[in-house]
Amino acid sequence: MLTKRQQLILWSIIDDYIVSAEPVGSRTLSKKEDIQFSAATIRNEMADLEEMGFLEQPHTSAGRIPSQKGYRFYVDHLLKPYMWTQQEVILLHELHQQKVDRAEKVFEHASILLSRFTNYMTFVLGPKMSESKLRHFQVIPLLDRTVVSILVTDQGDVHQQRLTMPEGISSDVMGKLVNFINHHLSGMPLQNLKKAIENELKDELILYVERYDRVSHFLDQVLFMNAQEKLFTSGANRMMDLPEFRDVDKVKSLLDLIEESDVLVKLLEPREIGVQVKIGYENHIDEIRDCSIITTSYLFNGEPVGTIGILGPTRMDYGKIIGLVDFFAKDFSKQLMNLYEIE
Residue ranges binding DNA (CB under 7 A): 22-28, 36-41, 43-44, 46-47, 50, 57-64
- Quote the crossing angle between the two packed helices 318-339 and 103-118, to the nearest 10°: 160
Q: Which of 248, 284, 286, 302 binds a copy of itself (CB under 8 A)?
A: 248
3-state DSSP helix/strand/coil % of the chain, to nearest 5: 50, 20, 30
Residue 156 · residue 103 · CB < 8 Å: yes
Applying CB under 8 A, the span of 33-41, 119-127, 146-154, 201-209 interacting with a copy of itself comes to 146-154
> Under the criterion CB under 8 A, does residue 62 sit at the interface with a copy of itself?
no
- 73-112 positions binding a copy of itself, by CB under 8 A: 101-102
Least distance (Å) between residue 52 CB and DNA: 13
Residue nearer to DNA on the CB measure, 62 or 342: 62
Q: List, in order, residues 6 or more apart from 3 with CB less than 8 Å away.
A: none
CA distance 261 to 135: 30
Residue 26 · residue 43 · CB < 8 Å: yes
Question: Facing residues of 56 across strands?
Answer: 65
Q: Is 187 left (phi over 0), alpha (psi -120 to 50) or beta?
A: left
Q: Which of 34, 172, 241, 286 binds a copy of itself (CB under 8 A)?
A: 241
Residue nearer to a copy of itself on the CB measure, 44 or 98: 98
Least distance (Å) between residue 15 CB and DNA: 15
Of 51, 47, 14, which Cα lies nearest the Cα of 292? 14
Q: Which of DNA, a copy of itself, none has residue 236 at its interface (CB below 5 to 8 Å by kind)?
A: a copy of itself
> Under the criterion CB under 8 A, does residue 247 sit at the interface with a copy of itself?
yes
Angle at 207 between CA 141 and CA 171, to 5 degrees: 15
Applying CB under 8 A, the span of 64-72, 152-160, 299-307, 314-322 interacting with a copy of itself comes to 152-160
- DSSP type of residue 179: H
Residue nearer to a copy of itself on the CB measure, 155 or 216: 155
Secondary structure of 31-94 as H, E, C letters: CCCCCCCCHHHHHHHHHHHHHCCCEECCCCCCCEEECHHHHHHHHHHHCCCCCCCHHHHHHHHH
- DSSP type of residue 120: S
Least distance (Å) between residue 339 CB and DNA: 51
The two most distant CA atoms of the chain are separated, in Å, by: 91
Sketch the per residue contact string, 254 through 293, with a copy of itself: x for CB under 8 A, - otherwise. -xx--x----------------------------------
Least distance (Å) between residue 238 CB and a copy of itself: 9
Q: How many angstroms from the chain centroid is the CA of residue 89?
A: 23
> Under the criterion CB under 8 A, does residue 138 sit at the interface with a copy of itself?
yes
Q: Which of a copy of itself, DNA, none has residue 43 at its interface (CB below 5 to 8 Å by kind)?
A: DNA
- DSSP type of residue 299: E
Residue nearer to a copy of itself on the CB measure, 38 or 186: 186
Sketch the per residue contact string, 195 through 234, with a copy of itself: x for CB under 8 A, - otherwise. ----------------------------------------
Contact residues for a copy of itself, defined by CB under 8 A: 101-102, 135-136, 138, 140, 142-146, 148, 150, 152, 154-156, 158, 160-163, 236-237, 240-241, 245-249, 251-252, 255-256, 259, 339-342
